[in-house]
Homo-oligomer: A and B are copies of this chain.
Amino acid sequence: MARTAGSHSDITGPKVRDAALTLFARHGFAAVSMRQIAREVGVQVGALYNYTPDKQTLLFDLMQSHMDALLEAFSDDPAMPPRDRLHNFVRFHIRFHHDRPDAVFIAYMELRNLTPENFTNIEALRKRYEDKLEAILRAGVSSGVFDVADTKIATLAVIAMLTGVNTWFRSGGRLSLQDVEDQYWQMVRKAVSAESPA
């Protein structure tokens, strides 16, 4: 029952990741030292290296976990009408990103601090997520309910618009997350919908 004194791998591991996530988001990867992370966790700097081979891998693992969770959490039903699938995507994207602002911030801002191999890996995951939205838009264009000149551009435009919510929205203000979801959905829906003939 009694553990080795000072042994806490099951609890320290997550704390290292949490501390790194918070600090990297607040100050930036390059500006955060391993000593700062250790202080936040409550251990000495040497102990961190039981949980990550180096600082770069720590960053990469955080980004990969985030992208994996994103891909895992999104579900889409190709049998549904494109409009409903898009509505589902908009709500999901806003809510998922709102729930983890630090991870989102890091995943977008620290790409340049990844080694080339790690960068390629993360970009592939991002591409897989974009492809899910593009499939929805393409289905809608095929059936005539959507009208966009280029589904790839529309995909990037919609994702940029939705992710932008994280730069200004925090719960507890004048608007609820539901309000935000509703308003962005109206804008996205109109932006990609086919217009009724004049």
Contact = CB atoms under 8 A, between A and B. Distances in A.
Interface stretch (A41-49, A62-70, A178-186): A178-186
A176 to B, nearest CB: 12
Interface in A132-157: 148-150, 153-154, 156-157
Nearest to A196: B196
B112 A183 contact: no
In the complex, the count of this chain's copies comes to 2
Contacts of A156: 164, 167-168
A88 interface: no
Interface of A is mostly: helix
A22 interface: no
A193 interface: yes
A153 B180 contact: yes
A28 interface: yes
Contacts of A187: 148, 154, 157, 191-192
A16 interface: no
Interface string A158-198: 11110110011000000100001011101110111101101
Given A183-B150, A190-B193, A191-B188, A164 B157 contact: yes
Interface of A: 26-31, 109, 112-113, 148-150, 153-154, 156-161, 163-164, 167-168, 175, 180, 182-184, 186-188, 190-193, 195-196, 198
Q: Which 3 A-B pairs have the closest CB atoms?
A: A160-B164, A30-B31, A30-B30
30 contacts: A27-B113, A28-B28, A28-B29, A28-B112, A28-B113, A30-B31, A148-B183, A148-B186, A148-B187, A149-B182, A149-B183, A149-B186, A150-B175, A150-B183, A153-B180, A153-B183, A153-B184, A156-B167, A156-B168, A157-B161, A157-B164, A160-B163, A160-B164, A160-B167, A161-B161, A190-B190, A190-B192, A190-B195, A191-B191, A196-B196
